[in-house]
Amino acid sequence: MTTELDTGLPSTRQVQNLVRTKQNVEVKLMTGDLISGQLRWQDPQCIAVATADGAVVQIWFHAIAYLKPQ
């Protein structure tokens, strides 16, 4: 298990750019659930999405089917 973000990976750079620009995203989970909001942070295992109702949802990467900028 890695303990640092690998900023050489395109996926890491894309997520970091979405956090930096505060762009809204749509995250579809493997369960079929859909979470929309603003990416707040990323670590080696998770992302956090702030939803319109003010909740901050922590999502494990292995639970994500796709992440799409809105």
- pLDDT band per the 50, 70, 90 thresholds, residue 2: low
What is the value of pTM for the model shown? 0.87
Decide if 40 contacts 54 (C-beta within 8 A).
no
Q: Is the predicted pLDDT of residue 3 greater than 90, yes or no?
A: no
Rama region for 32: left / alpha / beta (φ>0; ψ in -120 to 50; rest): left
pLDDT of 45 = 94
pLDDT tens per residue across span 10-58: 989 999 999 999 999 999 999 999 999 999 999 999 999 999 999 999 9
The domain tally of the chain equals: 1
Q: Is residue 64 part of a domain?
A: yes
* Site of tokens 């973000």: 5
Q: Is residue 31 part of a domain?
A: yes
Q: Is residue 5 part of a domain?
A: no
Q: Is residue 63 part of a domain?
A: yes
Domain that holds residue 49: 10-69
Q: Is residue 3 part of a domain?
A: no
